Structure 1
Amino acid sequence: MASADLISSTVLPTKSIIICSTGRSGSTLLSRTLSSLGYFGKPIEFFRFDMLADNGVTTSATELYRYLGQVYPLGTTPNQVFSAKLHWDHLRKLLQIARTDPVLKSQSEIEILSQLFPNPIFIFIRRNDLSRQAISMEIGRQTGVYLILKEQDKKPPQDKQRLFFRPLNIYRYKQGLQQRNQNWRSLFHRNHMSFLEVVYEDLVTDFEGTMHQVIKTCDVAIPAENFEISQATKKQGNQVNERWLRYYCLIPESFLKAYSNARSYLRQLIAKR
């Protein structure tokens, strides 16, 4: 394998768990809970654009392989299970860089992913309520806070910071989320990839049951004795999220679509002048 040849200085994991996600989908809750159990790798967003850039990964597969040599130990538990979290845009960038390796250039997506992540298992997490997810993304963008750990005794940032309801941003986030969910499904379908689909709403209403389903799918040998599964993060949404949802539902999305298209058209006209 091209990647194994260039990462020979490190021990390759025997199994990989890939969390396939979009922003504010519950992926952090899922990832941190899996990480806390100690047998399912440590799923971190190793392949965010900023993390790649900070580690000198720009356009070359050689740079990527060197970085993987650093990432494997960070994301692997003692039982040699590696895990990582990938948003759709991060996956696209990862595949683009990997295909600069002539050996991988003509290979399918699943073939490339199987070389980068040995024996991969895919967990796809999404939300049913895209409006709430888009609102959460807009609040995160305004506050800069995307995570509150369970042990942290603090109020959600929207309780103490002035926020501005911007329905056009929410609409555009929602459309982007819908497209990225479809992109994930298309990837799984055209590559005949098996995956477990986790719905965020099921995760929060039946946390232990859903996590046991995830654990069963991962097929990792764990001690016979029971171990506690507890939520690793707190819910950030509060009355602000619910109020914005009521406001958003009052505005026809057809109007927001037309307004968004008009703004984009005007920007194109101005750029051509």
Structure 2
Amino acid sequence: MSGLIVCATQRSGSTLLCELLKATGVAGVPNEWFQHFKDTGLADQPRQYLAGLDDPYVRSLLPPLDPGTPESDFDFEKVREAGTTPNGVFAAKIMWSHTDDLWARLRGRTLEDVFGELRYVQVIRRDKVAQAVSLWTAIQTQAWRDGDEPRAEPVYSFAAIRHLVEWLTVGEQAWTAWLAPRDPDVVVYEDFARDPSPTIEALTGVPASPPPLKRQANGRSAAWVARYHGENAEAA
């Protein structure tokens, strides 16, 4: 079995896919091994998602950037060991927003040069507004998974959601272009979430276990999506 690289944008449903892949025990460990930025040594911070949006109100909702500590080195061998299951299969999940630093770390090599034969899986979400609402909520609460304790009560912002719709769309399109010559498997969240089993079995040859995560979408999310569509129509 080839290694697996799950290519995604934030809040696309990739966590559900990766948790189900991990549960098989034969498909590697597709964590976000490359999520820390070279300049800070830290994962995404709230303000980084909204970079380029000149909106004082949105900025007032977000903590200041932590300068962190610049990365001095990156150990691909350690990633390989951590991301490999006992059967020798490596897996990783990569967000498009992390690729600039990943390409720099590779120093002209390809992912295949480092990890061997790879199979690529692109996760997409058709409803970009729902995806952006989910991301905007998680940015504010820092509750990324079911069970995480929210750090703040999220508030609605048309400007923030519109920015994130565009940002997520650009990231997905960039993945699609990069993956075009690599013949990826494409997983559509809205279809996959209804019945994950066929996708997991097609990728691994192993039936899917029951989903390990609960959906975080709720009445507030639906109301924000509807409100955004209404305000967007008025602005058109």
Which category of TM-score, normalised to the shorter sequence, fits these structures? 0.7 to 0.9
The equivalent position to 2:31 in structure 1, one of 37, 40, 44, is 44
Following TM superposition, by how much is the alpha carbon of 1:234 offset from its aligned partner in structure 2, in angstroms?
A: 1.1
* Greater than 4 Å deviation, 4+ residue runs: none
Listed as ranges, the gaps of 5+ residues in structure 2 are: 43-68
> Which residue among 141, 166, 170 is the counterpart of 2:161?
170
- Measured in 2, the distance between the counterparts of 1:228 and 1:196 equals 17
Q: 1:181-260, aligned counterparts within 5 Å?
A: 181-189=172-180, 192-216=181-205, 229-252=209-232, 255=235
Give 5+ residue unaligned stretches, structure 1.
Answer: 1-13, 105-110, 217-221, 257-273
Q: Tell me the number of residue pairs that the alignment of Structure 1 and Structure 2 aligns.
A: 209
The match for 1:117 among 115, 118, 126 is: 115
Separation (CA, whole Å) in 1 of partners of 2:126 and 2:174: 16
- How far 1:209 sits from its partner (Å)? 2.2
Farther off after superposition, 228-237 or 81-90 = 228-237
CA, structure 1 residues 254+89, in 2 after alignment: closer, same or farther (shift >3 Å)? farther
State the 1:161 CA deviation: 5.7
Counterpart CA distance in 1 for 2:226 and 2:197 is 31
Give the equivalent residue in structure 1 for 2:86: 78
Cα distance in 1 for partners of 2:223, 2:91 equals 37
Q: Which has the higher helix share?
A: 1
- Is 1:94 aligned with 2:94? no
CA RMSD of aligned residues (A): 2.6
Q: Do the aligned partners of residues 199 and 34 (structure 1) sit closer, same or farther apart at CA in structure 2, a change above 3 Å counting?
A: same
Q: Normalization by structure 1: what TM-score?
A: 0.70
- What is aligned with 2:5? 18
Whole-Å separation in 1 of the counterparts to 2:165 and 2:213: 23
**Relative contact order: is structure 1 or structure 2 higher (C-alpha 8 Å, sep ≥ 6)?**
2
TM-score scaled to structure 2, two decimals?
A: 0.80
| Larger Rg belongs to | 1
- What's the CA shift for 1:214? 2.9
